[in-house]
Amino acid sequence: MAKKVGLNGWLQRVRETGEHSDVVVRVTGEEFRLHMLPLRNESGYFRDLPSSSNGIEQVDEKTGCKLVNIHHLPGGVEGFAIAVNMCYLIKPSFTVKNVALVCAAAEFLAMEDVTESARKFMHSNIFSHWRYCVNYLQNYTRIGSPVDEYVEFRCQKVLATACVKCFTEIKHVSAPSAYISGPLTAVPPKQSSSACQTLTELLVQVCSLPDIYAAEIINTLVDSDVNLNLKCRQGRNVRRWLESVIDDECQSDKARCYVLLCLSRMLLKNAPTKRPWMELSSQYWCSLLEHADQLLPLLGDPLKERLIGVKAMLEEKIGESLNEMDEYLRDYKFGPDTLMSLVEYYISMGEYTEQSLEEIAGDVDRFLWFYANECSISVDAFISLVKAFPPSARDCHDTIYGAIEKLISTAPNCSAEEQQQLWSLIDHFKLSPSVNERALNNPVFLSQPEILESVLLHHSQELAKVDDTDGRHLRHIMQKVINASLKLLEENSRRSREILELQRQYGELLGCRSQMLNPEGIVDLLGKQHHSNLSQNSSLQRESETEESEISDSPSLATVSSTVLGSGRRRLAEMFRDDMADCSSASC
């Protein structure tokens, strides 16, 4: 006697075999031989199909059954097959990968029970923990159904809530002592329970999601009540924690950018509106700006534009509070443009003291040496950073002098004019004795007329203090006077030739070349004058080498030095008067 089969077994058998089928459903080219009774019992879509063949209902030519074509069904063949099986009382085979497809197909076919079962599965296996949501969103492909919005909204809500909870529960945002750098994989249970470790993992995972999800979760987190300014006062290893998160844990520039955007916006949102602005959180502010400065060249639009806006706000807030920092500014790796912005904001506030200005100028000078050593700054940027401070902010120019030396040696394309501009930044009287001695042996530095004049004045004062009978000492100082005088005359001649060349070009532009003086005649005259000065200086040197008895009968060498210095000054004044007269005649 044949064993009796229950209703459930019979429905499953006819679903698998297609026996007694009275309808063929065609989905994306694939046909399903089904039965209208269980379909109409479960699906509002099939209940609403017309019973007459008036253009919507068709007949399959092979089987003579009704034919239903469903075009562009959300969830596709896989979602439809599982949803239909539930109409035949077959237990659904939900997985994390197919549950959204089934839910989308069930919603389209108006299968309420199937939709409810799919959503219960999502709540138990996806929305129950933030790690499940991260994994799901990382691999989720949009279906083109209202299910997309439902799934994404629920996952984002779970992740945002978890982020707010982590930031709320943690006392200080800082790296634990047992922090392991590197990608967050296989974390031991003890470390996994750490609040800071959980925050690190969650933040990195959220910022590694596709843009559409990461941006929305970050917006929700920024709009929350978390005050990051209070959370970072002041774990002394905040900077190390940020380095671990951004440099080690994040595996892409996009993730690094979203971490910076999230933390910076949270910090800026609750920033104090009056001094002290940074208080004990300067380490946090400056570390974020440091990483943003380094990351910007690696990004493309539109993330780059968003980070530029946040970076500008950080620069303004930090720049206005440079005197409130609890660390040295030089401890951070800011680029020249970023450093210039900070200095400009600070100077523009006008609320600085001489001491604070001197300290910040000293930090900037060390930055300049670092930039010069790395050849990472242009001459114009170098000059702008030096001139950003008033002259009174620096009592010593030793660091700037060393930075200029280093920049010229590391920048082979630095022109003679640029070198002159750099050396003109140095105040000869603010150099220490050892650096000053080195500077006076630097021919490029020494070629500046004002430096030469100060050297001549110095030697003249030395001569005035030395006894005329000390022949050796006098000869040594006199030789320095002669060399400085020659250098001064040579520099004056060079500048005069440059002025004459400018006159010639200006005359050509005005069509007044006939009104200009003959440059060659003036150059010849300067050459003869220079030759005469050389002869005169040679004779002075020979006289200085005579015996001490002869020195005592000759005029005082201090008087000779003053004469040479006065002659140089008069010659310089005459040249400039002649040049001004020539320029006036050319402009006529």
Write the Ramachandran bin of 76: left for phi over 0, alpha for psi from -120 to 50, otherwise beta.
left
Q: Does 19 share its domain with 115?
A: yes
Q: Does 13 share its domain with 112?
A: yes
Lowest mean pLDDT among 94-108, 129-143, 222-236: 222-236
For residue 231, is it within any domain? no
For residue 63, is it within any domain? yes
Q: What is the pLDDT of residues 123-170, one digit of tens each?
A: 999 999 999 999 999 999 999 999 999 999 999 999 999 999 988 888
Lowest mean pLDDT among 125-139, 152-166, 478-492, 553-567: 553-567
Q: Are 273 and 323 in contact (CB under 8 A)?
A: no
Alpha-carbon gap, residue 396 to 358, rounded angstroms:
10
Q: Does 485 share its domain with 427?
A: no
Distances (CA, A) of 370 to 265, 297, 331, 406, 439: 30, 20, 12, 9, 20
Tokens of 214: 């990461």
**Domain boundary pick from 422, 443, 464:** 443
Q: Does 11 share its domain with 108?
A: yes
Alpha-carbon gap, residue 471 to 453, rounded angstroms:
24
Task: Give the per-residue pLDDT at 76.
Answer: 92
Alpha-carbon gap, residue 231 to 221, rounded angstroms:
15
Neighbour count for residue 81 (Cβ, 10 Å): 18
Q: Over pLDDT 90: what percentage of the chain?
A: 34
Residue 564 binned pLDDT confidence (cut-offs 50, 70, 90)? very low
Residue 62 binned pLDDT confidence (cut-offs 50, 70, 90)? low
Alpha-carbon gap, residue 340 to 388, rounded angstroms:
8
Alpha-carbon gap, residue 307 to 259, rounded angstroms:
11
Q: Does 421 share its domain with 504?
A: no
Q: Does 407 share its domain with 435?
A: yes
For residue 25, is it within any domain? yes
Q: Which phi and psi (to 5°) does residue 24 adopt?
A: -115, 120
Range of the domain at 419: 352-443
Q: Which amino acid is at 423?
A: W
When comparing pLDDT for 534 and 486, which is higher?
486
Alpha-carbon gap, residue 89 to 67, rounded angstroms:
23
Q: Which phi and psi (to 5°) does residue 49 adopt?
A: -70, 140
Task: Give the per-residue pLDDT at 23.
Answer: 86
**Domain boundary pick from 393, 419, 443:** 443
Q: Does 13 share its domain with 118?
A: yes
Give Rg (Cα) of the chain.
Answer: 42
pLDDT (mean) for 424-439: 83
Q: Say what the alpha-carbon torsion angle 475, 478, 482, 484 is, to the nearest 10 degrees.
A: 130
Q: Does 20 share its domain with 91?
A: yes
pLDDT (mean) for 182-187: 40
Specify the DSSP element, H or E, that contains 59. strand 58-59
> How many CA within 13 A on the CB side of residue 156?
20
Q: Does 404 share its domain with 456?
A: no
Lowest mean pLDDT among 287-291, 472-476, 534-538: 534-538
**Domain boundary pick from 108, 124, 140:** 124
Alpha-carbon gap, residue 271 to 232, rounded angstroms:
12
Taking the alpha carbons of 265, 271, 277, 281 in that order, is the dihedral positive or negative?
Answer: negative
Task: Give the per-residue pLDDT at 472.
Answer: 58
For residue 55, is it within any domain? yes
pLDDT > 90? residue 210: yes
Listed in sequence order, the DSSP H helices in 271-410 are 282-295, 303-319, 336-349, 354-374, 379-387, 398-410
For residue 94, is it within any domain? yes
Residue 412 binned pLDDT confidence (cut-offs 50, 70, 90)? confident
């007949």: which residue's tokens?
59
Residue 447 binned pLDDT confidence (cut-offs 50, 70, 90)? low
Neighbour count for residue 371 (Cβ, 10 Å): 23
When comparing pLDDT for 442 and 189, which is higher?
442
DSSP 151: H
Listing DSSP states for 465-531 in one string gives HS-TT-HHHHHHHHHHHHHHHHHHHHHHHHHHHHHHHHHHHHHHHHT-GGGS--HHHHHHHHHHHHH
For residue 64, is it within any domain? yes
Q: Does 456 share its domain with 429?
A: no
Task: Give the per-residue pLDDT at 431.
Answer: 85
Q: Does 430 share its domain with 452?
A: no
Lowest mean pLDDT among 25-39, 234-248, 498-512: 498-512
Q: Does 453 share its domain with 392?
A: no
For residue 534, is it within any domain? no
Burial class (CB in 10 A: 0-12, 13-18, 19+), 385: buried
Task: Give the per-residue pLDDT at 132.
Answer: 95
Q: What is the CATH number of the domain that holds 70?
A: 3.30.710.10
Alpha-carbon gap, residue 37 to 403, rounded angstroms:
89
Task: Give the per-residue pLDDT at 514.
Answer: 45
Residue 33, beta-bridge partner list: 24
pLDDT > 60? residue 378: yes
Residue 475 binned pLDDT confidence (cut-offs 50, 70, 90)? low
Q: What is the pLDDT of residues 322-370, one digit of tens each?
A: 877 756 777 888 999 999 999 999 998 877 888 888 889 999 999 999 9
What order of strands is seen across the sheet that includes strand 66-70?
Answer: 30-34, 23-27, 66-70, 58-59
User: What is the number of structural domains in the chain?
Assistant: 3
Write the Ramachandran bin of 55: left for phi over 0, alpha for psi from -120 to 50, otherwise beta.
left
Mean pLDDT of all residues belonging to the chain = 77
Q: How many helices (H) and strands (E) does the chain have?
A: 28, 4
